[in-house]
Amino acid sequence: MAPNVVSPTPPWWQTAVVYQIYPRSFCDTSGNGIGDIEGIRSRLDHLEWLGVDALWMSPVFTSPMADHGYDVADYCDIDPLFGDLAAMDTLLADVHDRGMRVILDWVPNHTSDQHRWFMESRSSNDNPRRDWYYWREGTSDKPPNNWQAVFPAGPAWTFDEASGEWYLHLFTPDQPDLNWNNPDVRAAMADTLRFWLDRGVDGFRMDVVHMIGKDPTLPDLLSGPGSPLLEYDEPSTHQHLREIRRVLDAYDGDRCSVGEVYLLEPDVVATYYGNDDELHMSFNFMSVWTGWDADAWRRVVKGAQDAFDPVGGWPTWVLSNHDLPRHRQRFGGDAAIARAAVLLLLCLRGTPFMYAGEELGLVDAEVAPDQIQDPSGSRDGCRAPIPWEPGHGHGWPAAKNWLPFPPEAALRNAQTQRVDPASIAWLYKDVLAERRGSSALQRGSQELLEGLCDGILAWRRSYEDDERIIVINMTNEDVEIDLAEPTMIRMSSVASHQNGNEDHAFDGGIPANSGMILVPRR
Ligand code: TEU
């Protein structure tokens, strides 16, 4: 087994739990049915109550909202829909006052077609910014290569009648890809990072960052027409990431990056950490493609250990985000599974990323076909407004919000759950507190425990004399295991085990679809 090396004083982001906020859906204070920055600020007590360390905000920059903010028209300003720079500065100050951090969402692969850079680039074939994007000659019936957009269905190219050339967009035609081969683009994008670093942000989530480097000849995908997203791995990206890292490292305070490297082989993802000179962290999306199945999870955990440990890359864990069906839904909707998944996400070695609303055990909203907002058509369900209160409007002032509420909002809302110690929100809070009090859970080594029983995922975390064993029963049957060492139950995902602060002797029984944190009996 690889050594799982632990550094003596880890940077804050290695011991942190990050809470992702999709600002449109978090909390509306202006009354237009869309969440805003002031709404986030007004709910910081919830984050503090929960005990998370940092919040990551999906983009709030100036945008025509063709992809709800992932189409940025000005990286250095706030869209009026969400507030303004002053509101952002106030939020930053308030988050910092509460001892938490802010991670912004930086979208380097593409801008909006309404960004002034693209408008200039598009204005004529000899504009000085022409080369800031990928323009290629061709006839209107044949795109320059076989790349397809991730969404909507169709080529990753749009023909511009005025100039008789095509431009590249891995996503919608409103999201033209920046040409990172151009040093002026790299310098301008580095400036956008400095703008926010100077204002005090603690890090960046970097959108599809593995796609920024491109072979300028843009060759066809050998596998045939499709999106390069899940397979593209271009050497120049690593050079760009080293430059980006130097921008962050020039600031104090362990400013960090977490890359959305959408490649499904952990070994390849790990190369994006470089020699500790590229990304600080990367998502490893194997977890979101894995069902409620212990064997599959063992492979994912082992895959991460084998990929990240040898290169000293700090792992990350994620179950839900704004692009995917919520994990409770993916795992079949069972409330017990959602509770056991709390231990899965928060006790594996690495930085966990929660998605707002998972602490309420939410499933996705149902959105009528004629109400769909998302350009991909499939992601609205997990972007439903967060229910804050049980009553009418659930704490949202408008008569109608940009999306409907998720199911069971009268029960699955922050106010109701926060006064119920048996709720999933309290389970998150308790496990987060346990994590914070345990160097084993925060930064300890990790060893998978093999061969205990079919359907059981179990692992040991150790740091000096602090130790935890986590066991999760991913089956619909109660099972018995023999750990061959006496342990006490510190915490269980089963509500009835949770009450009282005393550890209980572990007799080997683990109820169906539940998890436990165990400590050695001393
Ligand atoms: O997502 C990248 C992306 O394409 C995947 O999330 C996924 O394949 C897609 O959502 C499936 O429909 C990032 C952002 O997270 C996403 O919200 C943006 O739309 C996208 O980049 C473009 O910026």
d(CA 242, CA 187): 13
Q: Are strands 54-57 and 487-492 parallel, antiparallel or unpaired?
A: unpaired
How far apart CA 63 and CA 253 sit, in angstroms, is 29
- pLDDT of residue 185 exceeding 90, the answer is yes
- pTM of the predicted model as reported, rounded to 2 decimal places: 0.97
Residue 1 has pLDDT above 50, yes or no: no
24 pLDDT above the threshold of 80: yes
In a domain, 5, yes or no: no
Check whether residue 209 and residue 101 sit in a common domain. Answer: yes
Nearest atom, ligand 1, residue 379 CA: 12
Q: Is 67 in the pocket of ligand 1 (CB under 6 A)?
A: yes
Which member of 260, 358, 434, 467 is catalytic?
260
Contact predicate 257/279, CB 8 Å: yes
Q: Find the CATH number of the domain harbouring 493.
A: 2.60.40.1180
Which ligand 1 atom lies nearest to the CA of residue 376? 12
CATH code of the domain in which 120 resides: 3.90.400.10
Residue 329 has pLDDT above 80, yes or no: yes
- 452: pLDDT strictly greater than 90: yes
177 domain-assigned: no
Length of the chain, in residues: 522
Do 469 and 425 fall into the same domain?
Answer: no
In this structure, is the dihedral angle defined by the CA atoms of residues 352, 358, 361 and 362, taken in order, positive or negative? negative
If asked whether residues 148 and 205 sit together in one domain, one would say no
207 lines ligand 1 (CB under 6 A): yes
Q: Are residues 155 and 232 in the same domain?
A: no
207 catalytic residue (yes or no):
yes
The span from the CA of 120 to the CA of 137, in Å, is: 18
* Residue where one domain finishes, among candidates 432, 462, 486: 432
437 within some domain: no
Within 43-161, residue ranges assigned H as helices are: 44-50, 85-97, 116-123
User: For 212-228, what is the mean pLDDT?
Assistant: 97
191 vs 194: CA distance, rounded Å? 5
Within-domain flag for 439: no
Contact between residue 12 and residue 254 where contact means Cβ atoms under 8 Å apart: yes
Helices (H), 52-199: 85-97, 116-123, 183-198
- Is residue 209 domain-shared with residue 155, that is, in the same domain? no
pLDDT of residue 522: 79
**282 and 320 co-located in one domain:** yes
Number of domains present in the structure of the chain = 3
DSSP 118-135: HHHHHH-TT-TTGGGB-E
Angle, CA 102 vertex, CA 416 and CA 234 arms, to 5°: 120
Show Cβ contacts of residue 521 under 8 Å, excluding neighbours closer than 6 positions: 486, 487, 488, 505
pLDDT tens digits, one per residue of 104-144: 999 999 999 999 999 999 999 999 999 999 999 988 899 99
**Residues 314 and 349: beta-carbon distance below 8 Å:** no
DSSP H or E run through 109: none
CB 18 within 8 Å of CB 281? no
Task: Supply 439's token pair.
Answer: 């160097």
Catalytic residue among 177, 207, 434, 467: 207
pLDDT at 496: 66
SS3 263: coil
- The answer to whether residue 492 sits within a structural domain is yes
Q: Quote the DSSP letter at residue 261.
A: -
345 and 237 fall within a common domain: yes
Residue 140's domain comprises 116-168
Closest to 41 (Cα-Cα) out of 10, 87, 86, 3: 87
Q: How remote is the CA of residue 371 from the centroid of ligand 1, in Å?
A: 20
Q: Which residue has the higher pLDDT, 255 or 139?
A: 255
* Residues 352 and 420 reside in one and the same domain: yes
pLDDT band at 2 (very low <50, low <70, confident <90, very high): very low
Question: Is residue 488's pLDDT more than 50?
Answer: yes
Q: What is the DSSP string of 1-59?
A: -------SS--HHHH--EEEE-GGGT--SSSSSS--HHHHHHTHHHHHHHT-SEEEEPP
d(CA 364, CA 358): 10
Q: What is the pLDDT of residues 409-451, one digit of tens each?
A: 999 999 999 999 999 999 999 999 999 999 999 999 999 999 9
- Nearest 5 degrees, angle CA 179-CA 266-CA 55? 70
| 83-94: average pLDDT | 98
Measured CA to CA, the distance from residue 149 to residue 169 in angstroms comes to 7
CATH of the domain at 402: 3.20.20.80
For 393, list phi and psi in degrees, rounded to 5.
Answer: 85, -15
For residue 499, pLDDT over 70 is answered with no
- What pLDDT digit, counting tens, does each position of 375-410 carry? 999 999 999 999 999 999 999 999 999 999 999 999
Asked, for residue 385, whether it belongs to a domain, the answer is: yes
Please give the share of the chain, as a percent, with pLDDT higher than 70: 98
The mean predicted confidence, pLDDT, of the chain is 96
Do 351 and 261 belong to one domain?
Answer: yes
- Give yes or no: residues 21 and 49 share one domain: yes
Taking CA atoms only, the protein residue closest to ligand 1 atom 4 is: 150
On whether both 122 and 29 belong to a single domain, the answer is: no
482 noted as active-site residue? no
What's the pLDDT at 441?
98
- Whether 408 and 474 share a structural domain: no
Residue written as tokens 């912004």?
104
Question: From ligand 1's centre to the CA of 380, what distance in Å?
Answer: 12
Q: Is 61 touching ligand 1 by the criterion CB < 6 Å?
A: no
Cα(255)–Cα(214) distance, integer angstroms: 26
Predicted confidence band of residue 3 (pLDDT cuts 50, 70, 90)? very low
Q: Which of 407, 432, 457 is the last residue of a domain?
A: 432
Strand partners, 457: 472
Instruction: Give the distance (Å) from ligand 1 centre to CA of residue 98.
Output: 31
pLDDT digits (tens, 9 = 90+) for 281-325: 999 999 999 999 999 999 999 999 999 999 999 999 999 999 999
Strands across the sheet with 18-21, in order?
Answer: 281-282, 256-259, 203-206, 101-106, 54-57, 18-21, 351-355, 316-318
Q: Give the pair of three-digit tokens for residue 81.
A: 């829909």
Which atom belonging to ligand 1 lies closest to the Cα atom of 323?
10
Ligand 1 contacts CB of residue 151 (under 6 A): yes
Tokens of 175: 């999201």
pLDDT band at 8 (very low <50, low <70, confident <90, very high): confident
